[in-house]
Structure 1
Amino acid sequence: MSSQYDVLVLGGSGVDTIVYVPELPLPYADSYMIRPGIETRAGQTGDFVALGLSALGLRTHHLDMIGDDPSGDLVRAFHRDRGIDFTEVPLPGGTKRAVNLVGPDGRRLSLYDDSRSRESDRLPEEVVRSLASVSRHAHVSLTYPCAFTLPLLREAGLTISTDLHDWDGENPYHEPFALGADIVFVSTTALSDPERTMRLILERGRAGIVVATAGAEGAYVLTGDGLVHVPTVAPRAPVIDSNGAGDAFAAGFLFGRLTGESLDRCALYGAVAGAYACTVPATGSDAIDHAGLLEEVAALTGSAAPGGEAERAGSVAGRTRPLARPPVTGPRT
């Protein structure tokens, strides 16, 4: 019997208020005049992963807790307007919110409202089990209630992915996610030794694939066969915003994985999707579609220019650049 859904996305719904600032860090001043303005829209990590997967043609269902409030209405409309199936569970503290300060170069600083979460927040087991039973894969967002779903998803036999975002490699909150997923995404932003952290995840947890996104340095993929460097892909339009680039990379990578592509091709899909996301303003909610992804990949792999397929690094020293923290510009998770 075939599954009803290719991917069940858990958690990560919320609303962002986007503020464009003249520079980051923002120097203290009594006031700033902001253009093109300040806008509140639905879309946090789980929303954008679900959007990216759905735009690429994967049958996607999103499950999360949201409030009975105007912010929740924006989240509901986000899914309804894009045809993404969404199951909501009441969140007593209200829909999650954040403020994103976005600089002229597309970098962002996110301020998360931590008052919305409560110790008792849970996704009901029966709902998780029911949706897991008709899904092939689960992508688990790094939100508190989702940690309790990991055993249920494994029990259902699903493969699992997660995104640790800007984990520092030490915070114990992230460990259940890092060690409980088959595919782990993480940003190198806060990692002092990214390769060491990646190898620890591979050695200690369930993961067979660990992906570290590194901004302008591209990304790195670690498996039991070694380390792979994924070069950046130059966007076809100007880079204006890094919001959602990591979520788009994850969606592109998972699309390749779930459609049976090679690891190199999965990584290339992720790089193309992430680059596209950097051309979309934070106030918009757009993702590369299936036709656009394949067209861009064909253009890249059909030319002699570097940056097409991933550069494989084996055990021979010097076959790839050192895995280091990224510069301050470029896509972020």
Structure 2
Amino acid sequence: MSTRTGEAHAPQTDALRTGRTDVLVLGGAGVDTIIHVPELPLPYADSYMIDSGIRTRAGQTGDFVALGLAALGLRIHHLDLLGDDPEGDLVRALHREHGIGLTALPQPAGTRRAVNLVGPDGRRLSLYDTSRARPGDRFPEETLGALATAARHVHVTITQPCAEALPVLTATGVPLSTDLHDWDGENPYHEPFAYAADVVFLSAAALADPERTMRRIVERGRARTVVATAGPDGAYLLADGELTRVPAETPPAPVVDSNGAGDAFAAAFLYGRLAGEPPETCARYGAIAGAYACTVPASRADAMDRDRLLRTAAGPRR
């Protein structure tokens, strides 16, 4: 069976054959082209010589969350639209390599792609190709409902067309999480995700008052747990009405790229949540995995495994 048809291939059908997966990841599949630049912002010039090379690899937000969860030993299924193109083949190969179930529905507009400019300090600037989507794109309700009800949890990325999937997902009663990334607290696009999820992740980078935004999410939506990551300043955790600060963890190696750190945080937090750990422990797991992700070069797709996560968490804070 061709992997470009959008039909399930092993282990894609495992979720439906066995009746259970741990997490369904919805959306966020694609490829990134990585370019290391001498500084950010990049001053205007007619040309730059890139000695480190320009590399394209599979891995956007949904792929990285799925990869992080799978590395922690959970059974993962990923649902998204992919093109019949070389970029789609890279995404399919990534999932096969890591044993992640993938249902790839046809996307005639092509596989989602982006260019990441990465500075010497690991910060990045992402340029997203919005032409790789169509206004009428939808996930078939039967497929979406079957995969969601086969899962213990659903993580919803904010890529199109996931917003249209939210009513179907909430009707299943399966717990939901989402990552709003660098939401400014005002953009209405993010609100359906913020108010439909039980667990909400976001970055504090664009928030003037993280606590106010976090409490508004709880007041207006379903969430009882909201996490705002703040890079080297750690994170804010709002759980059961109480706001606490989560210290940052010291990366185990030099920081080379921040790409995927938020996805790694979310994956490790969800691992802890599904294991029945309290929110504070889940947030510590997230901080550990996020710090590790910052040491992984942008050209690689890698994630912390369960043994290393638990061993690090059992030791003193670094």
TM-score bucket (shorter structure): over 0.9
2:153 is aligned to: 137
2:118 and 2:212 map into 1 onto residues whose CA distance is: 31
2:285 is aligned to: 269
SS of the aligned residue for 1:114 comes to: coil
1:32 and 1:163 map into 2 onto residues whose CA distance is: 34
Q: Which amino acid aligns with 1:119?
A: P
1:147 corresponds to which of 136, 150, 163? 163
- Does the aligned pair in 2 maintain the 1:3–1:136 contact within 8 Å? no
Could you tell me which runs of 5 or more consecutive residues in structure 1 were left unpaired when the two chains were aligned. Answer: 301-306, 309-333
2:204 is aligned to: 188
- Measured after TM superposition, the shift of residue 3 of structure 1 is 5.2
- Measured after TM superposition, the shift of residue 116 of structure 1 is 1.0
5 Å-filtered alignment, 1:8-27, equals 8-27=24-43
2:196 and 2:241 map into 1 onto residues whose CA distance is: 20
2:12 is aligned to: none
- Does the aligned pair in 1 maintain the 2:239–2:279 contact within 8 Å? no
Tell whether 2:110 aligns with 1:94: yes
- Does the aligned pair in 2 maintain the 1:18–1:39 contact within 8 Å? yes
1:43 corresponds to which of 39, 54, 59? 59
SS of the aligned residue for 1:128 comes to: helix
2:190 corresponds to which of 174, 178, 181? 174
1:74 is aligned to: 90
**What RMSD, in angstroms, separates the aligned Cα atoms of the two structures?**
1.1
Could you tell me which runs of 5 or more consecutive residues in structure 2 were left unpaired when the two chains were aligned. Answer: 1-17
Tell whether 2:125 aligns with 1:109: yes
SS of the aligned residue for 2:315 comes to: helix
- Measured after TM superposition, the shift of residue 17 of structure 1 is 0.2
- Equivalent pairs, count: 301
1:69 and 1:177 map into 2 onto residues whose CA distance is: 29
Task: Give the alignment's TM-score, normalised by structure 1.
Answer: 0.89
SS of the aligned residue for 1:148 comes to: helix
Identity of aligned pairs, percent? 67
2:138 and 2:77 map into 1 onto residues whose CA distance is: 18
2:237 corresponds to which of 192, 206, 221? 221
1:289 is aligned to: 305
2:223 is aligned to: 207
Moved over 2 A (4+): none
Q: Which amino acid aligns with 2:88?
A: G
**Which of 224-233 and 69-78 deviates more?**
224-233
- Does the aligned pair in 2 maintain the 1:136–1:159 contact within 8 Å? yes
- Does the aligned pair in 2 maintain the 1:24–1:103 contact within 8 Å? yes
- Does the aligned pair in 2 maintain the 1:202–1:223 contact within 8 Å? no
Q: Note the alpha carbon deviations across 1:184-208, whole angstroms, 9 max, x for none.
A: 0010111122111111001000101
- Measured after TM superposition, the shift of residue 223 of structure 1 is 2.2
1:233 is aligned to: 249
Q: Note the alpha carbon deviations across 1:10-41, whole angstroms, 9 max, x for none.
A: 00001100000000000111111112111000
1:278 and 1:21 map into 2 onto residues whose CA distance is: 17
1:276 and 1:3 map into 2 onto residues whose CA distance is: 33
1:278 and 1:202 map into 2 onto residues whose CA distance is: 29
1:251 is aligned to: 267
Q: Which amino acid aligns with 2:284?
A: L
1:124 corresponds to which of 117, 140, 148? 140
1:311 is aligned to: none
- Does the aligned pair in 2 maintain the 1:208–1:224 contact within 8 Å? yes
- Measured after TM superposition, the shift of residue 149 of structure 1 is 1.5
1:242 corresponds to which of 248, 251, 258? 258
